Amino acid sequence: MSRPGGTGRHRLEVPRGAVTAPDGLLLIDKPSGLTSHDVVAAARRLGATRKVGHAGTLDPMATGLLLIGLGRATRLLTYLVGADKTYTATLRLGQETTTEDAEGTVTTSHGCAPTGDLPGRLDAALAALTGELMQVPSAVSAIKVDGVRAYARVREGQDVALAARPVTIHALTRLSEVRATTATDGTAVVDVDLRVSCSSGTYVRALARDLGQALGCGAHLTALRRTSVGPFDVEQALTLEAAAAQVEAGAASVPPSGLTPLSLAEVARRCFPAVALDEAQARAIAYGQLLPAEVAERAVAPERAVVPKKRRADGAVNSRPVLAGFAPDGEVVALLTTGKGRTRPVLVLAPAAGPGRADTQPTAGEPGDQGES
């Protein structure tokens, strides 16, 4: 796999799959320097399919877990975007940048020294930023302001003021001792490694900014790695090099094979409470019909269930629990919800089985596109 340069953009040279990859979820360990769109483009070629999407952007500087949906799994991404996430990050105390990370231009250099009380003050600041917060997103985020991305307005020299949004920081802890170092401009600064467990929509760069303000010295991120999304961990992910090697080996086999993502059934079982349906119930759900509410009462929750969320226009978040209905053969038929004494499908995943099948689009009023911060 090569990564030609010189054009200002990355175009990954990866092999094209010999066969179209099955529908499913591909876990990729994104390297630094690539956009999430770059990875999606590579997955299209590796999987020999155009129907590819991802569940939550990672900035080019960041590394770690990116969930890639192939085929019908792209329909599930709406329900995975709102999953909680964990990160490891390196924070630099003593300097602020235009982007709140190392890719931006330094705007202030207050400097920072590892004085005796710094670890205690840092731990207190971390504790103060834990829990339910109103966070002002990074000005260089992808949030739209009057139809234009905030980062695009910043690049044009505009001042961008974004409204605070509710987020939850489940845990914000220090992974290392503070380390005295020197920035490239000679400023004495301090680096420290952190672990962040947070809700979807949290800007870790904004946490760095707020920590720097709390400590009075300014701060920015120098490294960020996503280690988990819902029930999926980066240790389970493939690098792009490993995915390319899998495709090359599959092309040379007889018969040829391709990428092997997690199946729709496995993804649904790991993410949502599972409901076992009999043949008649599975057929009814596949056709968009309603079932009694009691059907949902036998759902068995996974260890790390995902609760889909959607952010409203006012910034508040609505949580909408869903279940996964499984046919007797173990295949996932649909995602389900309950209400008004009925269990109904919100997303039918079973392959088309003939005329009269329900439309597999989400039911009106159910989850649609969810922007991930």
Active site annotation includes 59: yes
DSSP state of 351: P
97: β partners? 106
Nearest C-alpha neighbor of 58 from the set 83, 84, 79, 29: 29
Structural tokens at position 140: 């260089």
Per the CB < 8 A criterion, the answer to whether 96 and 219 are in contact is yes
Structural tokens at position 262: 């997690």
β-pairing verdict for 131-135 and 165-174: antiparallel
Reduce the DSSP state of residue 168 to 3 states and report it. Answer: strand
Long-range contacts formed by 72-76: CB under 8 A, 24+ apart:
72/23, 72/264, 72/349, 72/351, 73/23, 73/24, 73/25, 73/261, 73/264, 73/267, 75/347, 75/349, 75/360, 76/25, 76/264, 76/267, 76/268, 76/271, 76/335, 76/347, 76/349
CA 292 to each of CA 174, 276, 283, 339: distance values in angstroms, whole numbers, following the listed order: 49, 14, 14, 10
148: β partners? 145
Neighbours of 187 (CB within 10 A): 17
* CA gap 305, 331 in Å, rounded: 19
Structural tokens at position 200: 């979807």
Which residue in 59, 101, 191, 210 is the catalytic one? Answer: 59
Among all residues, which ones are annotated catalytic?
59
